[in-house]
Each structure stands twice: as C-alpha cells, then as structure tokens.
C-alpha cells in the first residue's frame, strides 16, 4: 500500500527561482523508503494565506494522506508556516514536533529554533520540516518509524 504525499516548499527565494529547492527534492527522493508516492509538489512564497489555501486544498479536495512542508519554520519575520498550519489543523500533535526538535538537537542545538508543528486535518497528517537540507534529512529519519502507525490511527484502523 502506498502513502499519497504532498510536498510543499515554502520559500520566497525558491518560489522566484533565486534558489534551488534542494529540501523539497530530497523529500521527493526519500519517499520510496516509506512507500510514499508524490501526488502534489509545489513551491510557494512565505505567504500565510497561500500556505493555508494549499494545505486545505490538498487535504479537502486531493485527500492526500501525508503533507510534508519544508521551510518557514524559524524565527525570521517571514516565517509563517507553523502559524498557517495551526490554522488549518483539526488536532495538533505536539509530541511529534517536540520529538523532531529534541532528536534534531542531538545533531544541532539550532533545531530548538524551529517553531514547526504537526497535526491532523480530516484524515491527513501534516508535518512542518525545516527549510535546511540537513534538517529535512534528520527530520525524515526521525519520523520514518512512526509514519505508518500515525496514518493507521488517523484512519481509525488501529485497534487501540
């Protein structure tokens, strides 16, 4: 069984072509490890309304099971990803965000600067990953062992 996935890169510079989207491409290449298939891939600027609209469309209309965002999770004035994501979630999963920060801190203390969130909208799981390639690699490896179980729970297939 495949997981249907959306990759949303949120970056002013990547959206204008000023910088290559290495993090989004890494996520794309990583997905076979979790039996994921990319249905949607998009690069947008750091705009909270566009972030919200894209997440809502991908969940409500495309019914993607997993949406991985990259970028916009830090402390800069243009980092809106976590706030926009919180505004579309039905349930937040703070433990996942805490795990990503604490496990990421084993590699770099900079992971504690991330405001990234994770949670559920309908039957989709949305996770904010950092914009850095290194942060994305580490984050995916941290998430990997839990993803199938999370998706089964969301769909009500877990016996617990």
Instruction: Quote the pLDDT of residue 158.
Output: 66
Averaged confidence pLDDT in the chain = 96
Q: In whole angstroms, what is the distance from residue 100 CA to residue 138 CA?
A: 8
Taking a C-beta distance cutoff of 8 angstroms, is the pair 23, 70 a contact?
Answer: yes
Mean pLDDT over 61-74 rounds to 98
Superfamily assignment of 3-154 in CATH?
MoaB/Mog-like domain (3.40.980.10)
pLDDT digits (tens, 9 = 90+) for 17-56: 999 999 999 999 999 999 999 999 999 999 999 999 999 9
């Amino acid at each position: 069984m495949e997981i249907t996935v959306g990759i949303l890169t949120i970056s002013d510079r990547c959206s204008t072509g000023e910088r290559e989207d290495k993090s989004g491409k890494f996520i794309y290449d990583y997905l076979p490890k979790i039996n994921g298939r990319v249905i949607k891939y998009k690069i947008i600027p750091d705009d909270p309304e566009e972030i919200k609209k894209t997440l809502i469309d991908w969940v409500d209309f495309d019914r993607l099971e997993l949406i991985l965002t990259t970028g916009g999770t830090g402390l800069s004035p243009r980092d809106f990803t976590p706030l926009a994501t919180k505004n579309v979630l039905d349930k937040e999963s703070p433990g996942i965000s805490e795990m990503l920060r604490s496990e990421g801190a084993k590699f770099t203390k900079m992971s504690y600067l991330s405001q990234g969130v994770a949670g559920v909208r309908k039957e989709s799981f949305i996770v904010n990953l950092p914009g850095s390639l290194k942060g994305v690699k580490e984050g995916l490896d941290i998430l990997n062992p839990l993803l199938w179980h999370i998706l089964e729970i969301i769909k009500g297939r877990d016996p617990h």
